[in-house]
Structure 1
Amino acid sequence: MMVLKKRRTPRSLMIQKRAEEVDRISELPESIIHHIMSFLSHKDAARFSALCKRFRSAWNSFPFIVFNETLNLGSCGDDLYGEAKVNKFLKYVSGFLQQRPPNISLERFRFCVDLFEGYDKKTHHIDGAIGYAIENHVKELELDFGEGPAHYRFPLTVLSAKSIRVLKLKGLKLGSGHKDLMLSHPFVESLSIQFCIGLKTLRVSCQNLKIMEIYSCKGLKMVAVDESNLESFSFLGDVSSTRKSDSCSINIAACKSLKCLSLENAQITGEWIKSHIPNFLLLEDLKLECCELLKDLYVSSAKLKTLELSDCSQLKKIEAVAPNLEYFSYIGQKGLSLINIGACRSLKDLTLIGARIEDEWIVSAVHEFPFLKNFRLFGCSSLQKFNISHEELETLQIVDCDALKEVQIYARSLDTFVYTGGCTKLPKFLIDSACFKAELSLCNGSKFSSRLFLELRDFLACFGHCRELQITCRSTDILIVPGDLRDSLVPPLYDLKHLKLHISDPNLDELKDLVDSLLWLAPHPYTITIVSGYEEKSLKVIISK
């Protein structure tokens, strides 16, 4: 009797058959494939297109185009420089665009290349790429030619393209140096101009404009926005110029709908703030940085929620009347003499860096903010001894307040306490809180004496009852307490259950002595964790009777 054996299908054919059976993506409509590709980076989307002909076809009609000199050339451009590299990149751009079918509406077109001096006369390839985007009704156009000297003259005819909703220009020539530009595009919603030259006056009147950014445009003397629908305005003055004659005046008083205002290196005064801010009835975020002409600042706003002041070196007085303000941050010099924000009763987050404030200011200010959650003090060298009593405070951070001697904290909701300072003249902290985490960063001294170890022991004793203690230091020297002191002193962290140590420059030969010392500092821990670099070692301690 003959037995017929069933012929086995080769494994490769079985895998291929299964792949064909479960392949559903290639059968999706092209619009869905485009949607999937939109969540990928440009590089990954290009790889995705190589999987099958269907994906390749979708890639050629993909409405998001990104040309980046470094990204597109990859390793092929590593050995090319100057004109040869730019030519190869532009050749790639031309070849890519020629493969695409006609009349494909573009959502986004981004073109990034660094041009060298002298290439401004050979830009017909760039003109062609921009023309392709305009012809295909691009909605978001971004041209990035770097932060260096501008060598490409932007064709102003692009500004009349009715399809553009988002326009981002960086590192271009926008005029002849004596040019006044009046931008009245009716459909643009977001406008960004960065590191561009050739303009002295920029007037903007776009009825749909919501977001506007002007960054470091050399030679710009005046910016005027005559549009009430603008919601966000950001300005960064030319950082390369130190002459007052190169300053740029800003006129945005007509922007009645403004919600966010950021001015950096702007030549504005306290009078400018007084005359403009009352016009912005919806203003929620105000940021002023490196505004050298500001001396006395008075801000009155009913809707303001965030106020950030940074490096305004001439600022002597700050007064804010903003009942809905939730976040206040000051970074500056020690010349500041007065901060009056007591009217900001809704404050939740307060940061002061380099402020010359006294102990009494801390005591009175904290009581005025019943909703305060986070309080940070950096480099406030006038502080010596103060009390903080607050039921809602969750985070307190004290960094490099060198003159500090004693702080008493009554905060039942305190979750995190952070201290950074030197190992000498350590302050005393009395913290009345049920359960908090303490993070201490200690700068190592040159030589540790018995007196310094006694001071350190008294300092650490302030944190013996916390939920977790984390200590950060450069080397292990600071925490290896000499044996004779251990015999005569009471351990400072007697009740601590979790101790974590971060060491940036550990001495492995001292590891045993370090563990012994840590077990003396905290005699009854549940865990001791030592972190060095990317390595973390944890000890689970079992105490036997």
Structure 2
Amino acid sequence: MISHIELPEDILRHIYSLLTMRDAARTTCVSQRFLHFWRCFPKLVFNPETLAVGRQPFFRGEDRGKYIFRKAQEVLENHSGIGVKTLKLHLSTCCKKDIDTSLLAGWLQAFVKPGIVDLAVLLPDCYAFEYSFPYSLLLNDDVANSRMPSVLKSLYLSSCGFHPTPTDDPRMLAFSWSLSRLRLCKVGVTGNEIWFFLSSCFSLERLDLSNCDMITYLKIPHVLRKLKTVWVRMCRELGVIESHALKLSTFSYEGRRLSRFTLGDSLETEELDMHAAHMQDMLQYAGSNLPSIAPNLETLVL
């Protein structure tokens, strides 16, 4: 009978990376080796579920957000910052006084690096116009020069500002080249800013916008040749949607009636699923325009 098997470190590290964050943290009590692995753990997710906040019977409602932020601080300040692929900071249940924005900025600076795949920052509603996601983190010269290719696939921001600014060198936006999903909820961003950012998201497949009340005009550029799904919800000031995405197959809209809606001059998709509230003229638009702009369309769902 074999009493002990010494696995190669790369295999052991891979097995360790498959654990949940809570289980990975518990293994640090077993050996120094696991403690070393923990300091390079790739999936850092902080929310009420992963931290088992609901299992703390003596917590008052206002204590839960404070607990989440404190636990995030403990883990991140003891992490090496190396090898992180997922960083999700779900801090929306925190109170304003629970969050130290200087610490938050430091964490993002330390962990948002070219190897990250999934990034989410969700703040309380009170921060929607008080804190801006540091857009400069997405301007990385190493990525632009292909020394460290970007693998960022998903970006989810909630209740913060997001202000992409034009740059003379479009290669500096290389962090967004690999992005396949963008979700913005209660984010302070203008139509021009979102258009500028989307113009470099060549791999984008899904766009979700909700309660982004600074957007009055949403223009989706034609360079998004992989974009298939667009969801727009309750952006109160939005009046115009203009899409030039050739492969769009699902469009869903909920909000006030738009003064103008167009899917551009050409649509290559064979299937199109369109859902909209307060847009009684969508049926008329589909009947009048789709036969000419979407010659390959075989299935239409309204």
TM-score w.r.t. structure 1 length? 0.38
2:202 alignment counterpart: 281
Q: Does 1:375 align with 2:300?
A: yes
1:265 alignment counterpart: 186
The answer to whether the 8 Å contact 2:253/2:276 transfers is yes
The answer to whether the 8 Å contact 1:110/1:142 transfers is no
- Length, aligned pairs only: 248
Cα distance change on mapping 1:129 and 1:234 into 2, 3 Å: farther
Distance 1:287 1:344 in 2: 22
Q: CA deviation at 1:146?
A: 5.3
Q: Does 1:326 align with 2:251?
A: no
Q: Which amino acid aligns with 1:284?
A: E
2:56 alignment counterpart: none
Distance 2:27 2:226 in 1: 44
Cα distance change on mapping 1:301 and 1:210 into 2, 3 Å: farther
Task: Work out which of the residue numbers 193, 210, 213 in structure 1 matches 2:120.
Answer: 213
Structure 2 residue matching 1:236: 3-state secondary structure? strand
Task: Work out which of the residue numbers 98, 101, 106 in structure 1 matches 2:16.
Answer: 106
Give the 5 Å matches for 1:104-503: 106-112=16-22, 133-136=34-37, 139-142=41-44, 144-145=50-51, 148-151=64-67, 152=71, 153-160=73-80, 162=82, 164-167=84-87, 176-179=100-103, 181-182=105-106, 205-216=112-123, 219=127, 220-224=131-135, 225-227=138-140, 228=143, 229-238=150-159, 247-251=160-164, 253-260=173-180, 261-302=182-223, 303-306=225-228, 307-322=230-245, 324-347=246-269, 348-358=271-281, 360-368=284-292, 369-377=294-302
1:67 alignment counterpart: none
Structure 2 residue matching 1:208: 3-state secondary structure? coil
Q: Which amino acid aligns with 1:364?
A: S
Higher relative contact order (CA 8 A, sep 6+): 2
The answer to whether the 8 Å contact 1:109/1:141 transfers is no
Distance 1:130 1:222 in 2: 38
Structure 2 residue matching 1:178: 3-state secondary structure? helix
Q: CA deviation at 1:367?
A: 0.9
Distance 2:154 2:178 in 1: 8
Structure 2 residue matching 1:364: 3-state secondary structure? helix
Q: CA deviation at 1:333?
A: 2.4
Distance 1:207 1:310 in 2: 31
Q: Which has the larger radius of gyration?
A: 1
Cα distance change on mapping 1:129 and 1:206 into 2, 3 Å: farther
* Residues 462-515 of structure 1: per-residue CA shift (max 9 Å, x gap): xxxxxxxxxxxxxxxxxxxxxxxxxxxxxxxxxxxxxxxxxxxxxxxxxxxxxx
Cα distance change on mapping 1:129 and 1:165 into 2, 3 Å: farther
Q: CA deviation at 1:107?
A: 2.8
Q: CA deviation at 1:340?
A: 0.7
Q: CA deviation at 1:230?
A: 4.3
* Residues 175-209 of structure 1: per-residue CA shift (max 9 Å, x gap): 744336345xxxxxxxxxxxxxxxxx757651222
Cα distance change on mapping 1:321 and 1:233 into 2, 3 Å: same
Q: CA deviation at 1:131?
A: 7.9
Q: CA deviation at 1:267?
A: 1.3
**Greater strand proportion:** 1
Cα distance change on mapping 1:288 and 1:125 into 2, 3 Å: closer
Unmatched 5+ residue regions in structure 1?
Answer: 1-26, 31-53, 64-101, 114-123, 184-200, 239-246, 378-545
Unmatched 5+ residue regions in structure 2?
Answer: 54-63, 144-149, 166-172
Q: Percent identity?
A: 12
Q: CA deviation at 1:338?
A: 1.6
Q: CA deviation at 1:290?
A: 2.1
